[in-house]
Structure 1
Amino acid sequence: MATKAEIIKAQERWKQHCETVQAATAVNINETEAQRLARIKRLRSDYAAFVDYYFPHWTVNPETGKNTPCAPFHVEAANKILKNRNLKAAFQWHRGAAKSTNMDVFVPMWLMIQERREINVMVLVGKSEDNAKTLLGDIQAELQYNQRYIHDFGEQFNNGHWEDGEFVTRSEVAFFARGRGQSPRGLRYRSHRPDYVVIDDLDDDELVESPARVAKLFDWVRSALFGTLDGGRGRFIMVGNLIAKNSVLAKWCGIKSVHVTRVNIYDNKGNISWAAKWTPQEVREIEDVAGYRAFQKEYMNNPIIEGAIFRNEWIRWGKRPAWSKFSEIVLYIDPSFKGSTKNDFKAAKLWGKAGTTLYHLRAFVRQSSVAEMVRWCYDLYEWCREQGISVRWYMEANFMQDTILDEFRREGELRGYQLPITGDKRKKPDKFQRIEAISPLWERGFVVYDETQRDDPDMLAGIDQTLAFEKGMRGHDDAPDADEGAIWMLQRDTRTKSFNPSFGRRTNAKNVSW
């Protein structure tokens, strides 16, 4: 429950927002009535144009004056909602994708202006009652102070207030706010039961830690809340990003009849899903700051359980031996594919073996072009020569094709030599099995990370991928895959030499059969 001070601050913020809405939505007084009617007809069928016209205070950057139009997935979702009055849906959109703005404000206001009445009672559900009321305040501000909307469709405000969790427009569309778990029974306005229910970011980090709480809340959603509809008729929508596999959103998406739309900040081709809002450089900076696991959860709808295979306490940093003490040093390259996007990670890992200990010495783990990785490899080769370090170079045989080696050849021609890369021609078992099989080396302390690389972003990115690795993961696993290749090469010549198996009866020390 909000404190008195918090309530006062919320009221002040709302009043300031209302002033912004009113100031930004001035009407064109030179527009003729014919032009106005033609425009309204067009905006009823064009969601992106509807948003641009009525909500410049949401879409225009006040500093640059540049408009940020709707993304294609916004338009697709709005059209889907408009065309299906009984839609049951989950819009699993990444953080920052304007989920609340569209589903809580723009879409219901678009439904209200259609020639056929599309909405009678809206219920907005948030994490708490106060949160839901605040969300409801956004749409009331628009209906009460948006001059363009009022000019085209008449005065909207009638009575009630978002602070009380409900209000009604002059056209008798009712709006209610409810917090998660709060009783929704009896919600109606006159003869109308709810026909547009939107559940906004119901999950949070604390909730998803408790399977029992998630199960109880999901039961509330599909029974008490869903039961507010008139026999299941109406639009019932859940929006959020997938922060955990055990979540209300995940369970809702698991229902076969629910339409699910998943939007990640990168689409399946590696392009920015909302390119009008973010540049590729901005998204890369977000990932750099957030880190691999947080970025996957918040922006890629890919929650990863840390320690599913590898654990953080198994990551050991230590002083490496002198270079002369290594019996062998290997650089293993996982270049992905030449034609792949910069969203794909490229990995090159330098490992060394001293006694029975495996040292992780250097790393390249980046979202980059193959050319950038190749330059790093050549730089590393020259550095190793200066240090007097002998390195064996490997790359998976599948990548030892002209399309990949072109980059190595091109760089080699510029530098006057070619890297001595050998193909890893082994018939590899399943990737998960291969990487899981080497995890005991970390657990038993046989893997040590060069402590001089503690702050190296590539080394840290590789560790993030290693800790995130699990069966069926949708995230990147290029780093642990390259680690497995390097370790296999380092242990290839010694793994079978210490013990020669033989068949027959076992004997004791006196060579007497047991």
Structure 2
Amino acid sequence: MVNTHKKYEKLLANYDLHCKRIAKATTIDINETPQEKIKRIKWLEEDYIRWFEYYFLNYAKKKSAKFHREIADILINNTQIYLLLEAYRSAGKTVHICMGIPLFLYFKKMMKYAIIMGQTEPKAQRLLSGLQIQLKFNQRLINDYGQRFKIGDWAEGDFSTTDGVRFRSFGFGQSPRGEQEEGQRPDYIGVDDSDIKKHLNNDRIMGDREDFVFEDLIGCFDSADDAVKRFVFANNNFHKKSLTNRLKLRFKEAQIKAIAKAQQQRSGDRKERHIVPTGKFRILSIPAVKDMVKFEPLWPEKTSSLYWKDLYDELGYRSFCREYMHIHVAEGSIFKVKYMQWKKMHDYKKYDALCFYGDLSYKVTGDFKAMILVGKTKRELHIIHTYLRQSSRADVARWLYDLYEDNNLHFYNIRYQIDGLFAQDEFISDFDLEGDERGWHIPVIPDKRTKESKYDRVESMEGFFQRLWVFFNEEEKENADQIELLDQLYAFERGSEAHDDGPDALHGAISNVNVMLHESAFDARVGMADNSDNPNTY
């Protein structure tokens, strides 16, 4: 009891000190005319980052990163959005999702009731105190928008503004079911750093935490068609069994369902086939660095590549991946994070060989259907397009035909193959039926080669990755299919029960482009030999 009292006293003392710092830091121009003031406010409100860096000097000591703008754009420009934000530790996510963005929405009259959730009730209250301090003591906000704080207190987890907007805080697990203010249900929910390691191996508890997010939190939004529903869950993704990763998998499922639903509803007019909606669910992944070779930071205005390289050396590969890269690396895994690279893909015509390869799975459900386009240019192997979903073979066929049409693939020499060990005629017919419907066909053929065990053939790709010859398409880095392929590569090891359809399809594509180049090189040598024997042959 004594310790609790002391903690509370310290919290109040810190609050008072922070109030003074905010008031002191936010000076105003007393010589500004009303016209100049109106013009300036309008100019600031046109750009969230500009607005944030003007009003919150204590937090904007470093220039905001590009990903801060992306976070803001997603939450501000969508009235119905569920965002899973996996951001590395110290990425500045808290100050934006729990203060900057809700205040921006509030002052622009785009939000009426915000819930801020932290790992515990005291942590949530501290987050709420940040909002209250700004409203009561930020001189720039008061000068431009007036004194808006009305009643309540962060220490009670609840306060309101003069224009009737309410801000509440909850600790994770405290249910906001039934929350409403004069009939207004919450329209903004920010959940910050609420994932913990304590119960990772207890599936029941972790399942309950996952259900809490979908049922108690997302479920407390208004059910009206036009209701505003802005939800963001922000955390680093530190373990494959973590709440963050569980939610990521659920969000991926929701995205895939949204895409499938849009395809089913699509009319016969295919002019809009290039539009790929993901519904309300979005995943934004922000690692600390682009790769663990050059350590190029995603927030260079704050942290240098040298800092991240030193931290990597201090923490070690596994811990750095977990805390700063959202990668869950099992000891002894084959495909390591440090092998993964991204770059802009070439035009199709610039590749020496191109192959689409599919592993479509004999099972109707359960396994993933995979179709991957790999291009080879000199030593490099480029993973250009990826389809990797728990769906039907007919859906794979639609995806391939759409991609073929959208990118005019008939102009290029591309091999189209699928694993033909099981029911190849049935598999091929799915592609032929899609072609019948469109009036033209893609020449998909079965790969009837006898193959070694799946583990051996997938493991044989390790050398290509280890030599840093494999590159993923940077334009598809946030694509759910490419993310799934990476997850399956990371999880691949002998005895693992993880899905491996993606790596198997990738092996098929890589194997084919290498064979294609070998065949063409052999043909060229034979041709040269024939011509040398008969100089009159052209």
The normalised TM-score by structure 2 is 0.56
Matches within 5 A, 1:47-126: 47-60=48-61, 68-114=62-108, 117-126=109-118
Aligned pair 1:9/2:10, yes or no?
yes
SS state at 1:159 partner: strand
Q: Give the distance between the partners of 1:273 and 1:220, measured in 2 at CA.
A: 32
Q: Give the Å deviation of 1:47.
A: 1.3
Letter in 2 for 1:162: W
Which of 309, 324, 347 matches 1:299? 324
Q: Give the distance between the partners of 1:277 and 1:54, measured in 2 at CA.
A: 19
Runs of 4+ residues over 3 Å off in structure 1 = 305-310, 335-340, 428-436
Q: How many residues align?
A: 327
Matches within 5 A, 1:311-330: none
Which deviates the most, 195-204 or 242-251? 242-251
Q: Is the 8 A contact 2:288 2:298 kept in 1?
A: yes
Which of 255, 259, 263 matches 2:282? 259
SS state at 1:278 partner: coil
Q: Give the distance between the partners of 1:474 and 1:36, measured in 2 at CA.
A: 56
Q: Give the Å deviation of 1:53.
A: 0.5
Q: Give the distance between the partners of 1:4 and 1:82, measured in 2 at CA.
A: 39
Residues 194-253 of structure 1, C-alpha deviations (whole Å, 9 max, x = no match) = 000011112112132322211011111111222211017311111111011112222222
Q: Is the 8 A contact 2:295 2:308 kept in 1?
A: no
Q: Give the distance between the partners of 2:341 and 2:462, measured in 1 at CA.
A: 24
Q: Give the distance between the partners of 2:309 and 2:491, measured in 1 at CA.
A: 18
RMSD: 3.2
2:244 is aligned to 249
Residues 74-102 of structure 1, C-alpha deviations (whole Å, 9 max, x = no match) = 11211221111111111111111111111
Q: Give the Å deviation of 1:126.
A: 1.3
Check 1:434–1:263 CA distance in 2 against 1; reply closer, same or farther (3 A cut): closer
1:473 is aligned to 490
Aligned pair 1:177/2:169, yes or no?
yes
Q: Is the 8 A contact 1:69 1:276 kept in 2?
A: yes
Q: Give the distance between the partners of 2:194 and 2:211, measured in 1 at CA.
A: 13
2:21 is aligned to 20
Check 1:139–1:472 CA distance in 2 against 1; reply closer, same or farther (3 A cut): same
Q: Give the Å deviation of 1:169.
A: 1.2
Which of 208, 215, 224 matches 2:216? 224
Q: Give the distance between the partners of 1:267 and 1:30, measured in 2 at CA.
A: 46
User: Who wins on radius of gyration, i.e. which is larger?
Assistant: 1
2:191 is aligned to 199
SS state at 2:129 partner: helix
Letter in 2 for 1:472: L
Q: Give the distance between the partners of 1:299 and 1:212, measured in 2 at CA.
A: 27
SS state at 2:200 partner: helix
Q: Is the 8 A contact 1:293 1:304 kept in 2?
A: yes
Matches within 5 A, 1:332-347: none
Residues 463-482 of structure 1, C-alpha deviations (whole Å, 9 max, x = no match) = xxxxxx9962299xxxxxxx
Q: Is the 8 A contact 2:28 2:143 kept in 1?
A: yes
Check 1:399–1:84 CA distance in 2 against 1; reply closer, same or farther (3 A cut): closer
Q: Is the 8 A contact 2:97 2:190 kept in 1?
A: yes
2:350 is aligned to none
Q: Give the distance between the partners of 1:267 and 1:293, measured in 2 at CA.
A: 16
Letter in 2 for 1:57: N
Overall identity of the aligned pairs, in %: 28
Letter in 2 for 1:182: Q
Letter in 1 for 2:105: L
Aligned pair 1:142/2:169, yes or no?
no
Aligned pair 1:155/2:147, yes or no?
yes
Residues 362-388 of structure 1, C-alpha deviations (whole Å, 9 max, x = no match) = xxxxxxxxxxxxxxxxxxxxxxxxxxx
Q: Give the Å deviation of 1:191.
A: 2.2
2:495 is aligned to none
SS state at 1:216 partner: helix
Q: Give the Å deviation of 1:309.
A: 8.3
Q: Give the distance between the partners of 1:290 and 1:248, measured in 2 at CA.
A: 23
1:38 is aligned to 39
Q: Give the Å deviation of 1:433.
A: 6.3
Q: Give the Å deviation of 1:129.
A: 1.1
1:394 is aligned to none
Matches within 5 A, 1:437-456: none
The normalised TM-score by structure 1 is 0.59
Q: Give the Å deviation of 1:430.
A: 4.1
2:233 is aligned to 238
Q: Give the Å deviation of 1:154.
A: 0.5
Q: Give the distance between the partners of 1:134 and 1:200, measured in 2 at CA.
A: 12
Q: Give the Å deviation of 1:429.
A: 5.3
Letter in 2 for 1:75: R
Q: Give the distance between the partners of 1:95 and 1:474, measured in 2 at CA.
A: 23
Q: Give the distance between the partners of 1:153 and 1:224, measured in 2 at CA.
A: 34
Q: Give the Å deviation of 1:164.
A: 0.5
Runs (5+) with no aligned partner, structure 1: 61-67, 311-334, 341-397, 401-427, 437-468, 476-514
Q: Give the Å deviation of 1:40.
A: 0.8
Residues 301-353 of structure 1, C-alpha deviations (whole Å, 9 max, x = no match) = 1122346689xxxxxxxxxxxxxxxxxxxxxxxx989999xxxxxxxxxxxxx
2:303 is aligned to 278
Residues 409-434 of structure 1, C-alpha deviations (whole Å, 9 max, x = no match) = xxxxxxxxxxxxxxxxxxx9546368
Check 1:36–1:11 CA distance in 2 against 1; reply closer, same or farther (3 A cut): same
Check 1:337–1:237 CA distance in 2 against 1; reply closer, same or farther (3 A cut): closer
Q: Is the 8 A contact 1:104 1:135 kept in 2?
A: yes
Q: Give the distance between the partners of 2:73 and 2:118, measured in 1 at CA.
A: 24
Q: Is the 8 A contact 1:104 1:198 kept in 2?
A: yes
Q: Is the 8 A contact 1:203 1:248 kept in 2?
A: yes
Letter in 2 for 1:238: F
Check 1:164–1:127 CA distance in 2 against 1; reply closer, same or farther (3 A cut): same
Runs (5+) with no aligned partner, structure 2: 255-278, 344-377, 381-454, 464-485, 493-538
Q: Is the 8 A contact 1:432 1:470 kept in 2?
A: no
SS state at 2:114 partner: strand
Check 1:85–1:309 CA distance in 2 against 1; reply closer, same or farther (3 A cut): same
Letter in 2 for 1:237: V
Q: Is the 8 A contact 2:125 2:157 kept in 1?
A: yes
Q: Is the 8 A contact 1:308 1:470 kept in 2?
A: no
Letter in 2 for 1:285: D
Aligned pair 1:290/2:282, yes or no?
no
Q: Is the 8 A contact 2:333 2:491 kept in 1?
A: no
SS state at 1:4 partner: helix
Check 1:222–1:36 CA distance in 2 against 1; reply closer, same or farther (3 A cut): same
Q: Give the Å deviation of 1:190.
A: 1.5
